[in-house]
Amino acid sequence: MSSVFSWRSYYLVLLALRFYFALANSYIHPDEHFQSMEVICNKILHYSGNLPWEFTSGNQARSMGPLYLMYGPILYSIKWLGSQLTPLQIWYVVRLQNVFLTWIITDMCIYRLLPTKPERIKGVYFTLSSYVTLVYQSHLFSNSIETCLLLLAIVIINNLRFAQEIKTKSDENSPNSSLLWLGVIVSIGVFNRVTFPAFLVLPFWYVLTYVWCHKVSGIYLAIGAIVPTYLFILIDSLSFGKSWAQIIASPFDLDSYVITPLNNLIYNTNYSNLAQHGIHPYYTHILVNLPQLLGPGILFLFKTSYWKTTPFLSIVSGIVVLSLVPHQELRFLIPIVPLACCCFDLYSQSLLGSISLKSWYIFNIAMAMLMGVFHQGGVVPALDELHLQFSVQVWWRTYSPPTWMLGDTNSTNFHLGYELDTSKQNYVFDMMGTNYDKVYQFLVGLKKQRDRPVYFITPTASFNVNFKNQALKFNSTWNYTFHLDMDHLDFSDYETLVPGLSIYEML
């Protein structure tokens, strides 16, 4: 990293890797499909799909606004231009958009947050070489959008803090203009993920002190937050069944609107609701998720030279507040990764530091390949293979297949039960982790009543271990090697460790 040439070479190689992983087919978590493209493609392109409860219950808990904002322009362009892109191609285009967006915003924000060129190079280098940036930021998580919004918010807050400390105005934009944009960002962030304010609790002290000293500036902050908030509420209300007539007749009646962040907050403050998604110890974020995100890089945070900086305050704020919630997933902490990389202290050139740096490379390369290529990597290619085929599909021991990728605008039906409606063109059964005996009996039942091809999609290892010598006969029609089912590994049985996902046609 010491020479300009080596820095630029590293940068270009890492940038190329970002695009490579954006076009890889891994599937990290169901929410990257079912809280984004499964929903927005149903609304805009009318692809049939399995819409999650957050968008279909009586108290909708996820907003359509950020989805229209992020993915609407591309999808409407595809629709209006009459493009014949396949769902897989659409997916690639949207993920490439995410790469460009996060690349530009991340580099710009790190440049503005850090004071010197060596610091900026360090921040960009470690952010870009993190497997979280290489892989997660191209996937269609709401957390990926949240990362960009948080960086923009921290840059504005840091500028306000600097303006107060040196008793002058910002050189580039007036503080009032910055506060206006901060209000917009916070509004989008809340409707994207209700947890967004958690990362701003401590840094927002500088905003409050500035507004206290400059009362008029608070008006700009309020306007910036109120206008997009009302627009998002309006979009959600109309998307989820409210009518213009109802809104116009009672514009000040809360029952005329759907306020998704409020519904989300109410839902997630109920312990029994969270229990359905998994209850974790309060130390999970600190002792489990943070080390998984940063790997050896966590050792670079032990120094105290950055603890007073705005990025570090945001890291602490997010971890502490989110640790108070008993449901704790690794991806909830994704937004802190660029901020943590800005706070890495490399000035102590000790043996430990050298070992940690080498470990950083090994850790992130391994995790990028695992999460960016192999993790459930065959699900999307299998759906593309079945694209436009009228069939009955039985999925077993995979993540839920995002059925929008079948490109069916008419009659795809997604079902978790054991009944076959033959009026549907495509019928998709997600057997998830159902035990073998029930899956086998279900397949036997399908064989008796099928009127079209029946395809069994499952990890190659699971088929070989359970179905190879059974009475039911299958023909392997398709195989994808770069697929790893992490949920059903048995290290005492080598066969369960074989990677791959296959499509088997029932004979």
User: Per residue in 351-385, pLDDT tens?
Assistant: 556 667 889 999 999 999 999 999 999 999 999 99
Q: What pLDDT shows up at residue 412?
A: 67
Is residue 210 located within the same domain as residue 249?
Answer: yes
- Which residue pairs, CB below 8 angstroms and at least 24 apart, start in 361-369? 361/129, 363/131, 363/295, 363/296, 364/129, 364/130, 364/131, 364/134, 364/295, 365/131, 367/131, 367/135, 367/295, 368/17, 368/21, 368/131, 368/134, 368/135
Residue 268 backbone class (left: φ over 0; alpha: ψ -120 to 50; beta: rest): alpha
State yes or no: pLDDT of 84 exceeds 90: no
| 427-430 β-sheet, strand order | 413-415, 427-430, 392-395, 454-459, 501-506, 474-480
Is residue 265 located within the same domain as residue 223?
Answer: yes
Is residue 462 located within the same domain as residue 360?
Answer: no
Taking residues 179-184, report their average pLDDT: 97
**Comparing 417 with 467, which gets the higher pLDDT?**
467
Q: What pLDDT shows up at residue 58?
A: 84
Residue 345 CA to residue 126 CA, distance in Å, equals 11
**Token code pair at residue 162:** 């600097």
Is residue 412 located within the same domain as residue 364?
Answer: no
Count of domains forming the chain: 2
**Comparing 277 with 193, which gets the higher pLDDT?**
193
State yes or no: pLDDT of 148 exceeds 70: yes
Give me the chain's average pLDDT, please.
Answer: 90
Which H or E element spans position 501? Answer: strand 501-506
Residue span of the structural domain in which 383 resides: 379-506
Parallel, antiparallel, or unpaired: how do β-strands 501-506 and 454-459 relate?
antiparallel
Is residue 389 located within the same domain as residue 363?
Answer: no
Q: What are phi and psi of 365, to 5 degrees?
A: -65, -45
* pLDDT tens by residue, 325-335: 999 999 999 99
SS3 breakdown of the chain: % helix, strand, coil, rounded to 5?
A: 60, 5, 35
Choose from 140-154, 294-308, 486-500 the range with maximum mean pLDDT: 140-154
Taking residues 414-436, report their average pLDDT: 75
Q: What are phi and psi of 67, to 5 degrees?
A: -65, -45
pLDDT above 70 covers a percentage of the chain that reads 92
State yes or no: pLDDT of 52 exceeds 60: yes
Size (the chain), residues: 507
Q: What pLDDT shows up at residue 172?
A: 45
Q: What pLDDT shows up at residue 76?
A: 96
**Token code pair at residue 300:** 């670079």
State yes or no: pLDDT of 171 exceeds 50: no
Q: Which residue has the tokens 């290290």?
A: 491
Which residue, 427, 401, 404, is CA-closest to 44?
404
Q: What are phi and psi of 345, to 5 degrees?
A: -105, 110
Which residue, 14, 24, 110, 22, is CA-closest to 365?
14
Q: What pLDDT shows up at residue 45?
A: 93
Residue 51 CA to residue 36 CA, distance in Å, equals 10
Q: What pLDDT shows up at residue 1?
A: 46
Is residue 276 located within the same domain as residue 190?
Answer: yes
Is residue 340 located within the same domain as residue 399?
Answer: no
Q: What pLDDT shows up at residue 79?
A: 92
Is residue 477 located within the same domain as residue 335?
Answer: no
Contact status, residue 322 vs residue 198, Cβ threshold 8 Å: yes
pLDDT band at 233 (very low <50, low <70, confident <90, very high): very high
Lowest pLDDT segment from 131-145, 228-242, 350-364: 350-364
Is residue 267 located within the same domain as residue 208?
Answer: yes
Residue 330 CA to residue 107 CA, distance in Å, equals 24
| Residue after which a domain boundary falls, among 374, 409, 433 | 374
Is residue 401 located within the same domain as residue 315?
Answer: no
Taking residues 266-284, report their average pLDDT: 92
Which residue, 286, 352, 295, is CA-closest to 129?
295
| Residue after which a domain boundary falls, among 347, 374, 401 | 374
Is residue 119 located within the same domain as residue 235?
Answer: yes
| Residues 6 or more apart in contact with residue 73 via CB below 8 angstroms | none
* pLDDT tens by residue, 114-131: 999 989 999 999 999 999
| Residue after which a domain boundary falls, among 343, 374, 405 | 374
Is residue 387 located within the same domain as residue 345?
Answer: no
Entry pTM: 0.93
State yes or no: pLDDT of 218 exceeds 90: yes
